[in-house]
Amino acid sequence: MNELIKEKMDAAEKGMKKKIDHLQSEFSSIRAGRANPSVLDKIPVDYYGCPTPINQLANVMVSEGRNLLITPFDPTTIRAITKAILASDLGITPTDDGKTIRLVFPQPTEDRRKELVKTVKKYGEEAKVAVRNERRDLMDKIKAMKKNGEITEDDQKSAEKKAQTLTDNCIEEIDKILASKEKEIMSI
């Protein structure tokens, strides 16, 4: 395969993989009833005037299936961490004993689970669109290379076929991730 084509294909593949990684990070922040420390990743705490992630201020661990235990490195940050959790869209009221903060995740209702599945499907569709956009950009570059005489028509057809295969594989991977997350959300 032409070196120029390989370069473009590698860049497109890297872009598609980034879209999949982003989808997985989005999914990890969706609360599906089980305690998961990553739901706190997007909650900044005002620590001496600087927004700081909770995992940099405290040890966060799962204690039992539906409980998160947050143990601050500096006990004076308990009030700030509690305030940040209350201000977030997490929807859980933290309780603290002066040394640790406990978050109890309630079992989501059937309606809430269906709503979460809709959100997950929306994220999945957005990821698929992003992957397809990556393919479109790659196809445009391949056509431009053919037009400029940098590659032959056979190289163009071969590259377009490989681009489609790459896209199909990424879409299939997104579908698997989506099905897994839906199953996790709908299981009681």
Residues of the chain with pLDDT under 70: 1, 31-33, 188
Paired tokens of 8: 């473009």
**What is the rounded CA–CA span in Å between residue 183 and residue 188?**
10
Tokens 């990890």 found at: 28
Q: Which residue has the tokens 């295969």?
A: 165
Residue ranges and CATH numbers for the domains of the chain are: 3-29+109-186 (1.10.132.20), 37-104 (3.30.1360.40)
- Cβ of 101: how many Cβ atoms within 10 Å? 23
Give the pair of three-digit tokens for residue 129.
């669109």
pLDDT of 12 reads 92
From start to end of the chain, where are the E strands? 44-47, 50-53, 58-62, 67-72, 95-96, 101-104
Q: What's the rounded Cα separation, in Å, for the pair 64 and 69?
A: 9
In contact, 105 and 78? CB cutoff 8 Å: no
pLDDT in tens, 103-132: 888 777 888 888 888 989 999 999 999 999
CB 89 within 8 A of CB 80: no
Query: What whole-number distance in Å separates Cα of residue 16 and Cα of residue 135?
Result: 8
Distance CA 177, CA 117 (A): 13
Sign of the four-CA dihedral 28, 29, 32, 36 = positive
CA distance 125 to 118: 10
Please state the length of the chain: 188
Q: Tokens in use for 91?
A: 């929807």
pLDDT attached to residue 1: 59
Longest dimension (CA), the chain: 71
Cβ distance 92 to 104 under 8 Å?
yes
Bridge partners, 52 (sequence order): 45
